[in-house]
Amino acid sequence: MLKTIKKYIHVKILRRKYYRMGNCLGCGKCCKKIYVKTSRHVIQEEKEFEKLKFLHRFYTYLTVVDKDETGLVFSCSNLDETTNLCKIHKHRPSICRRYPQEELFIMGGELTKDCGYKMIPIISFSEILGKVVNSG
C-alpha cells in the first residue's frame, strides 16, 4: 500500500520518472566532470560560458578542463583535491544539493559507474512491455 502511495506521489504529483536510491560516497567525481546546459544546448565555447557567470554564482566556481563529444567539461574549484570533499558544503548551491536529479538523464547525462546513487525508472520495463502487449 505504502509503495503504491509513494508511486502515485512521484508519478502523478511530482511527475517524476525515476526514484533516486542510495547515498553519496564522497568520491568527488561528479564535481570534476561537469557539463553546463542552457535551455537550448550544452555549452561548447568558453566565450558563451563567460556570459553565464553573471547569472549564477555556481558558474563562477567552474573551470574548463576538457572538451568531448558532449561539450565543454568543467571542474569545480570548491572541490578539495586531497579529501574529495566540497569546501563550501554547508553553503553549496542548490543545484549541488539536488544532485543527481532526473533532469540530468533527460539531457543525456549519466552517473559515474561507481557513484553511490542509482536512478531507478518508476515504471519498470515489464510494466511498459505489459502495456504494449495489452494495447496490441
Cβ closest to ligand SF4, residue 26 vs residue 121: 26
* Sign of the C-alpha dihedral computed for residues 33, 23, 98 and 109 taken in this order: positive
CB 121 within 8 A of CB 17: yes
Residue 36 binds to ligand SF4 (criterion: CB under 6 A): no
Residue 96 binds to ligand SF4 (criterion: CB under 6 A): yes
Fill in the amino acid letter for 112: T
Distance of CA 131 to the CA centre of its chain: 29
Residue 20 binds to ligand SF4 (criterion: CB under 6 A): no
Nearest-approach distance from CB 27 to ligand SF4, in angstroms = 4
Main-chain phi, psi angles of 74, to 5 degrees? -115, 155
Nearest-approach distance from CB 24 to ligand SF4, in angstroms = 3
Residue 43 binds to ligand SF4 (criterion: CB under 6 A): no
Cβ closest to ligand SF4, residue 111 vs residue 122: 111
89-108 core/surface letters (b: 16 or more CB in 10 A; e: else): eeebbeebeebbebebeeee
Q: Which residues here bind ligand SF4, judged by CB under 6 A?
A: 24-31, 61, 76, 78-79, 86, 88, 92, 96, 112, 115-117
